[in-house]
Amino acid sequence: MIYNFDKVIDRRNSGSVKWDKKDEVFQEVDVLPMWVADMDFPSPMPIIEAIKQRADHGIFGYSTMHDGYYDAIIQWNQRRHQWSLEKDWITISSGVVPALNTIVKTFTEPGDKIIIQSPVYYPFTNAIVENGREVLLNRLQLKNGRYYMDFEDLREQLDSSVKMIILCNPHNPGGSVWTKEELQELGEICLANHILVVSDEIHCDLVYTDYKYTPFASISKAFEQNSICCTAPSKTFNLAGLQLSNIIIPNADLRKKFLGAVSRTPLQLTNPFAIAATESGYKEGDEWLDQLVTYLQKNVDYLTDYIDTHMKSITVIQPESTYLVWLDCRGLGLEPEKLEQLLVKRARVGFNQGYTFGPGGEGFVRVNIACPQSVLREGLHRMNKVIQELNNTSQSLSGTQNN
């Protein structure tokens, strides 16, 4: 079937964090929310029908996975990513972030160092610091509009206290799809220094044409046995509210330790709707996903053309993946707090501010483009209006000083 991603659906008063919490989050009214990473599109019709069918059963007791669930995940990864999984590798979590916290506590000790590559998804830092571990920053390098890993810096910083790296593959917020060669070099460094690789691959299905996602664990048997891969249908099919993730752990010893840890928490409890939705999505969601990625590419192109034409002080970091676009606003010459005030207080657009993603994020914003293009257009118009006013004011002040 043909899906209509241009249709605007009112999500207000639906319990949506993105829309119903925006006034509280941004401390302003009439802010257009383009921040938290969920989409303003309905999920694929097969998923909706699967949830309806499960609801019709009428009994919603404690739920567990069955063979069809695991088969759907295995077949999806083989079909879409040429990655051969085994059923036993797949463990369940209520979300990637809860799983990361459990992984940090299970496989490291207080005071151990854990590598992150900033600017990066901020819950990585929280999972480390709030559990009494230390962050080791291996900052990414922005070159010619793309982020690259700094392997020289990484090697220089390593010592025996470094036990883990939390990798973002593909990268959020920079949008880089790490190449097999980049992952190979990173993986070899980690093997040589006994560093466990925990790879958040939640955006793996949202990759644009000409780029290829490589599951870290698929590169070699050694990498497979030295990694934990965090995946979920939430970003792929817009199912974040159903709270279900699949944590893939090929190494039997690592898996045993992880399962022992989660057995003492509610981390593995899930609900029948999440199970039905995930299985349906991985079995029948290809058509919807292909159309979605095509639409997202059109939104990327529209945003890029608009900014290049109207807001020349801003640079679009071209995403290779995800529906989250990273904008370099440093050309505006504003401190991070001033940039935030300009966009929220005056433009009334709600983006994620770059400084929240750690060192290297200052002066950037992250824009969620998973919305009808008319909504994206409105957000860009609001942004452009205040930036033109800012430019005119700066020119007026400059003219006054010259006089």
The pLDDT value recorded for residue 392 is 85
The pLDDT value recorded for residue 385 is 97
- pLDDT single digits (tens) 295-325: 999 999 999 999 999 999 999 999 999 999 9
Q: Which amino acid is at 389?
A: E
Through-space distance between the first and last CA atoms of the chain, rounded to whole angstroms: 64
> Using an 8 Å Cβ cutoff, are 181 and 211 in contact?
no
Q: How far is CA 364 from the centre of its chain?
A: 16
Model confidence, pTM: 0.95
- pLDDT category, 264, cuts 50, 70, 90? confident
> Using an 8 Å Cβ cutoff, are 129 and 166 in contact?
no
- CA dist 23 and 354 (Å) reads 20
- CA dist 40 and 183 (Å) reads 32
Closest by CA to 73, choosing from 281, 343, 314, is 281
- CA dist 74 and 268 (Å) reads 19
Place of tokens 């009808």: 372
Structure tokens at 81: 């990513």
> Using an 8 Å Cβ cutoff, are 249 and 258 in contact?
yes
Q: Which amino acid is at 233?
A: P
Structure tokens at 282: 């991985």
Structure tokens at 201: 């691959």
Q: Which amino acid is at 244?
A: L
The pLDDT value recorded for residue 398 is 52
Structure tokens at 14: 């639906």
The pLDDT value recorded for residue 270 is 87
| Mean pLDDT on 198-215 | 98
The pLDDT value recorded for residue 269 is 76
- pLDDT category, 229, cuts 50, 70, 90? very high
> Using an 8 Å Cβ cutoff, are 246 and 73 in contact?
yes
The pLDDT value recorded for residue 306 is 98
- CA dist 355 and 170 (Å) reads 20
* Residues in a beta bridge with 187: none
CA distances from 5 to 25, 202, 297, 374 (A): 27, 22, 12, 10
- CA dist 309 and 379 (Å) reads 15
- Whether the pLDDT of residue 212 is over 80: the answer is yes
- pLDDT single digits (tens) 339-367: 999 999 999 999 999 999 999 999 999 99
* Phi, psi angles (nearest 5°) of residue 382: -60, -45
Question: C-alpha angle 235/283/292, rounded to 5°?
Answer: 40
The pLDDT value recorded for residue 343 is 97
| Mean pLDDT on 391-402 | 63
Structure tokens at 219: 């590169």
Place of tokens 């009494």: 132
For residue 302, the tally of other CB atoms under 10 A from its CB is 15
- pLDDT single digits (tens) 233-251: 999 999 999 999 999 999 9
* Residues in a beta bridge with 64: none
* Mean model confidence pLDDT for the chain: 96
- CA dist 170 and 78 (Å) reads 18
DSSP three-state, residue 198: strand
- pLDDT category, 393, cuts 50, 70, 90? confident
> Using an 8 Å Cβ cutoff, are 117 and 149 in contact?
yes
The pLDDT value recorded for residue 337 is 96
The pLDDT value recorded for residue 265 is 77
Closest by CA to 196, choosing from 173, 163, 222, 152, is 163
Examine residue 46 and say whether the peptide bond preceding it is cis (omega within 30 degrees of 0).
no
> Using an 8 Å Cβ cutoff, are 339 and 353 in contact?
yes
- pLDDT single digits (tens) 104-159: 999 999 999 999 999 999 999 999 999 999 999 999 999 999 999 999 999 999 99
- Whether the pLDDT of residue 396 is over 70: the answer is no
